[in-house]
Amino acid sequence: MVLAALRQNDQQWLPRLQRMPNGKARYTYKRRSGEPAKTLDQLKAMANNPPTHQAQRQDIKDLLAELENAGATVVIAEPKKEEAAGEWNPRRGELRISQSVVKQGTVEFAKVLNHEAIHTAQSCAGGSIRSRPKPLGISREIDRQAMRALNKSLYGEITTQVRILEEEAYANQDKLGMGRDLLMEHCI
C-alpha cells in the first residue's frame, strides 16, 4: 500500500508542459531540496522518459523485510518528536515515518527509511533491537544539507553521543542498501 502511495506521489516531481495563451509552451518543474536546476533538454528528456525509481522501490521492499526479520515494527504515523521525518524508538521496537514523507515520494521515503534503519542497527549493536543505540563506527562525514538538518531545533539539546548516532545516520542515509546490510550484520 505504501509503494502505491509513493508511486502516486512521485508524479509531483515530474516536469509538466504548459501551453501559454500566446501559443508558446514552457515546462514547470518542482525541484527537490538541494537539487540543482535542470536544463530545458533535461526537463524534456525527463518528461518523455520519467524515472521509475525501480531500484529505490526494491531497496524499500528489501529494507522493510529485513526490519521485520530483525523484529522492528514500521508504522506510518507522526513521530513523537516534533519536526521529525522519522524516528526509531528502541523501547517499543518501533520505527515511525511521517505521512508527510510518504507525500514526498519514493526518493525521500527510501532515504528516511534507510536513516531510521541505521538507528535500528545501532540498537542491535548495543546488544539487541530494544537496546540503547551505540555508534557503529561508520562514516560520519555529512554534507551541507545534512548539517542544516542537524542544526535544526529538533537536535538543539542532544548529547554528544546522540549527535554521533545522528551523524552516522545522516552521513549514510543516501547509501540505499546500507541500512539493510547493517541490520543483517548487527541484528542477527
pLDDT tens for 158-180 read 999 999 999 999 999 999 999 99
* pLDDT value at residue 145: 87
- Angle, helices 54-70/178-186, rounded to nearest 10 degrees: 20
Nearest-CA neighbor of 135 among 181, 84, 186, 101?
Answer: 186
Residue pair 79/87 in contact (Cβ under 8 Å)? The answer is: yes
Question: To which H or E segment does residue 20 belong?
Answer: none
Asked if residue 153 has pLDDT above 90, the reply is: no
Please give the Cα distance from 151 to 119 (Å, whole number). Answer: 19
Whether CATH 3.30.2010 fits 54-186 = yes
Helix (H, G, I), strand (E, B) or coil at 75: strand
Q: Domain limits of the chain?
A: 2-48, 54-186
| Dist CA 19 CA 64 (whole Å) | 42
Find the mean pLDDT for residues 59-85: 95
In a 10 Å sphere around its CB, with 0-12 CB exposed, 13-18 middle and 19+ buried, how is residue 47 labelled? middle
Residue-wise pLDDT for 128-150, tens only, equals: 999 999 999 999 999 988 898 88
- Three-state DSSP at 178 gives helix
Sign of CA dihedral 36, 181, 60, 121: negative
Average pLDDT, integer, range 30-42: 90
Q: Tell me the per-residue pLDDT of 87-131, one tens digit each, with 9 for 90 and over.
A: 999 999 999 999 999 999 999 999 999 999 999 999 999 999 999
Closest CA to 105 of 159, 50, 152, 147: 50
> Contact, 132 vs 126, CB < 8 A?
yes
Determine the Cα–Cα distance for residues 73 and 90; give it in Å rounded to an integer: 10
